[in-house]
């Protein structure tokens, strides 16, 4: 699953975090269904609302490069284990399937693995709109 490589990418991007307000740095690495990697960091804004999380930064890069399926997403942050916020869980859900792995990593050796159904049970998706 390449945890070590993905953690290194996420950790590198964590250092790039623009978080002058919260001082809370988050890094993310997405591996798409073709095996390509995308890094992301949180990018804050003085107006707060435009702030984007590391997960959505990396997923936006993946989608804009032409892939719409996350194989694995690894998240690391200033907490011991940094979990995605509700908005990011919804976005991860949009670009996941039942095999997508969500890794919450303290470091390359200590991590927890989930599926989207674990983090967003009874989530809202495209099937709900197709009435
Ligand atoms: Zn988020």
pLDDT tens per residue across span 56-79: 999 999 999 999 999 999 999 999
* Of 83, 97, 74, nearest in space to 3 by CA: 74
Which residues crowd ion ligand 1, with CB under 5 Å?
53, 85, 88
Q: What is the pLDDT of residue 34?
A: 98
**Which runs of consecutive H residues, i.e. helices, occur in the chain?**
3-15, 54-64, 86-94, 116-119, 126-129
* CA 129 – ligand 1 centroid, Å: 23
* CA 84 – ligand 1 centroid, Å: 5
Q: What is the pLDDT of residue 127?
A: 87
Q: What is the pLDDT of residue 16?
A: 98
Domains, the chain, in order of start with CATH, read: 3-129 (3.40.140.10)
* CA 131 – ligand 1 centroid, Å: 29
Q: Please state whether the predicted TM-score (pTM) of the whole model is above 0.85.
A: yes
> Rounded CA gap, 27 and 114, in Å?
18
For residues 26 and 78, the answer to whether their CB atoms sit within 8 Å is: yes
* CA 96 – ligand 1 centroid, Å: 16
Catalytic (active site) residue 55: yes
For residues 104 and 111, the answer to whether their CB atoms sit within 8 Å is: yes
């Amino acid at each position: 699953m390449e945890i070590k490589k993905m953690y290194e990418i996420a950790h590198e991007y964590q250092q790039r975090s623009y978080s002058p307000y919260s001082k809370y740095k988050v890094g993310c690495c997405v591996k798409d269904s073709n095996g390509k990697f995308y890094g992301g960091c949180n990018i804050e804004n003085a107006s707060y609302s435009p702030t984007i999380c590391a997960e959505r930064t990396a997923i936006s890069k993946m989608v804009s490069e032409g892939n719409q399926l996350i194989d694995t997403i690894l998240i690391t942050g200033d907490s011991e284990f940094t979990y995605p916020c509700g908005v990011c869980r919804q976005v991860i859900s949009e670009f996941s399937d039942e095999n997508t792995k969500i890794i919450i990593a303290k470091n390359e050796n200590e991590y927890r693995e989930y599926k989207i159904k674990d983090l967003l049970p009874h989530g809202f998706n495209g099937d709900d709109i197709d009435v």
